[in-house]
Chain A
């Protein structure tokens, strides 16, 4: 019936009744207000089931939110070790200074043979064997941290460093770097995919909830349509219901995040201290929380819209 009607020509667009007493904008605003308040009121009438729906949405949004930050803060560059034939400390320091001026190098550290020997003795347990040696067999080593993280750039830098006079062997675990980069890429893709799936999940959960609400109120919808309710009028309370579910889920996600951070903060600080890390766990903050609520609200509204478009037109007076 609906499709057939749509093909009709649009002549005579004049409404059949006299226009209502208020201006169009005021009418619409009033009806939006009524729909928003009514739909919120209906949700509060069944607090437990509304809370459960919001919790499901909240947990999905919580996961979605955390996946976003997964690949941030991982140091992607490998370091290049230069084993030197040059043993003159003055020349080595000069080289360090020269290299440090390059833009593609973040830092250069000189490990002298004495330092290397001390470290080796302390960590390897070969102290006695080493003590038997006449002279220190270890070469000076420069550890170069590139300031770039693309593989091609690092390779070029490596080639340059290897060709420097006084360099015996340059070592770069390029394969390891490539693997790490690939793994990070996979993880990032996976995170995006999961985030997408969770977003779709939220939309579907709300869509299904709204579908039930629509079928529960089908008798009312028929009456409303028969006394002249437009499609927009009929859809409005359901769209607001979706919005409220989404925002409710967002609130739960923000609360859970704050609770989780609070519970973790003490033990995490201890753990990080052992790693010598200055990393601090920060919550989403006020702005971030509002962003979560906004995204959640939009997802909720979208879920309701999907459901409304699919199911509302099917309910026609018969």
Chain B
């Protein structure tokens, strides 16, 4: 699903955010991306989302070589990825339903199909009864679950999460993790950036550990160095 081949990212300031990272994430696999803040977790996710371009190396996601992606293709590529933010990034001027429906609206689903999918996604995160409310009326945990519903409503092949439990207490964090595991079980590849060691150690999944831009463990299983 994801293949990093000797990928480096150096910013204009000269700082090396990632150096010679190689790893592979299989279809339907769930893995954690860990490391201290500043180790390069966010940069790695941004490369996958094409918010940043690598300085060198090759990145293949969902069969697509990202070095060959044009600006015109970029939106369609992004539609194949669900993204969960630490601060959920919901739009506060519209209802929970409309927030979750946004990716479908953009992709041009007809309203009946969209409504079916939005309700299925909200049901999955247990918030179907709050579809008419505004995000501001929800708790932090609920807001995060709406963000997850929006990320999966388009049935993406890949789900990325950037510190999805960063603002949640341990109990809520565990609930969110159960959700991610369920997605992985139905074939979605999931990559979760997190520095929550307690949570990660309780769950038995692969761990990719970054330190100062280098992948120091977890990358050697397939295609790594």
Known pairs A223-B89, A223-B91, A228-B103; A17 contacts B71 (CB<8 A)? no
The stretch that binds B, out of A20-28, A126-134, A267-275, is A20-28
Kindly state the separation between the CA atoms of A24 and B107 in the bound complex, as whole angstroms: 10
Q: What count of chain B residues pass the 8 Å CB interface test? A: 36
Kindly state the separation between the CA atoms of A171 and B92 in the bound complex, as whole angstroms: 81
> Does B103 contact A227, Cβ atoms closer than 8 Å?
yes
Q: Which residues of A contact B103 (CB under 8 A)?
A: 227-228
Say which residue of B49, B73, B91, B150 sits within 8 Å of A13 (CB atoms). Answer: B73
Q: Which residues of B contact A219 (CB under 8 A)?
A: 89, 91
Question: In the complex, what's the smallest C-beta–C-beta distance from A194 to chain B, in angstroms?
Answer: 41
Known pairs A228-B76, A317-B49; A8 contacts B67 (CB<8 A)? yes
Known pairs A16-B64, A317-B49; A228 contacts B73 (CB<8 A)? no
> Does B83 contact A227, Cβ atoms closer than 8 Å?
yes
Interface string of B171-212 (1 = CB under 8 A from A): 000000000000000000000000000000000000000000
> Does A228 contact B106, Cβ atoms closer than 8 Å?
yes
Interface string of B61-74 (1 = CB under 8 A from A): 01011011111111
Kindly state the separation between the CA atoms of A26 and B62 in the bound complex, as whole angstroms: 28
Q: Which residues of A contact B109 (CB under 8 A)?
A: 20-22
> Does A10 contact B51, Cβ atoms closer than 8 Å?
no
Say which residue of A12, A28, A228 sits within 8 Å of B78 (CB atoms). Answer: A228
Query: With an 8 A cutoff between CB atoms, is B24 at the interface?
Result: no
Kindly state the separation between the CA atoms of A216 and B64 in the bound complex, as whole angstroms: 35
Query: With an 8 A cutoff between CB atoms, is B110 at the interface?
Result: yes
14 further A-B pairs in the complex, CB-CB below 8 A; given A8-B69, A228-B79: A2-B71, A5-B70, A5-B74, A15-B73, A15-B79, A16-B79, A22-B110, A34-B105, A220-B93, A224-B106, A225-B75, A225-B78, A227-B102, A227-B150
Question: In the complex, what's the smallest C-beta–C-beta distance from B191 to chain A, in angstroms?
Answer: 16
Interface string of B34-56 (1 = CB under 8 A from A): 00000000000000010111000
Say which residue of A13, A17, A316 sits within 8 Å of B79 (CB atoms). Answer: A17
Q: Which residues of A contact B105 (CB under 8 A)?
A: 31, 34
> Does A229 contact B69, Cβ atoms closer than 8 Å?
no
Q: Nearest CB to that of B74 among chain A residues?
A: A5
Question: In the complex, what's the smallest C-beta–C-beta distance from A137 to chain B, in angstroms?
Answer: 90
Q: Which residues of B contact A16 (CB under 8 A)?
A: 62, 64, 73, 76-77, 79-80
Kindly state the separation between the CA atoms of A26 and B74 in the bound complex, as whole angstroms: 22
Kindly state the separation between the CA atoms of A177 and B64 in the bound complex, as whole angstroms: 76
Query: With an 8 A cutoff between CB atoms, is B22 at the interface?
Result: no
Q: What count of chain A residues pass the 8 Å CB interface test? A: 40
Q: Which residues of A contact B107 (CB under 8 A)?
A: 17, 20, 228
Q: Which residues of B contact A231 (CB under 8 A)?
A: 75
Query: With an 8 A cutoff between CB atoms, is A9 at the interface?
Result: yes
Q: Nearest CB to that of B83 among chain A residues?
A: A226
Query: With an 8 A cutoff between CB atoms, is A173 at the interface?
Result: no
Kindly state the separation between the CA atoms of A22 and B105 in the bound complex, as whole angstroms: 12
Kindly state the separation between the CA atoms of A2 and B70 in the bound complex, as whole angstroms: 10
Kindly state the separation between the CA atoms of A224 and B107 in the bound complex, as whole angstroms: 11
Q: Which residues of B contact A11 (CB under 8 A)?
A: 68
> Does B76 contact A17, Cβ atoms closer than 8 Å?
yes
> Does A12 contact B68, Cβ atoms closer than 8 Å?
yes
Query: With an 8 A cutoff between CB atoms, is A230 at the interface?
Result: yes
Q: Which 8 A-B pairs have the closest CB atoms?
A: A27-B108, A228-B79, A15-B76, A20-B108, A16-B80, A228-B78, A227-B103, A230-B75
> Does B102 contact A223, Cβ atoms closer than 8 Å?
yes
Query: With an 8 A cutoff between CB atoms, is A179 at the interface?
Result: no
Q: Which residues of B contact A318 (CB under 8 A)?
A: 51
Q: Nearest CB to that of A15 among chain B residues?
A: B76
Kindly state the separation between the CA atoms of A49 and B157 in the bound complex, as whole angstroms: 45
Question: In the complex, what's the smallest C-beta–C-beta distance from B81 to chain A, in angstroms?
Answer: 8
Query: With an 8 A cutoff between CB atoms, is A152 at the interface?
Result: no
Q: Which residues of B contact A225 (CB under 8 A)?
A: 75, 78
Kindly state the separation between the CA atoms of A8 and B64 in the bound complex, as whole angstroms: 14
Question: In the complex, what's the smallest C-beta–C-beta distance from B201 to chain A, in angstroms?
Answer: 30
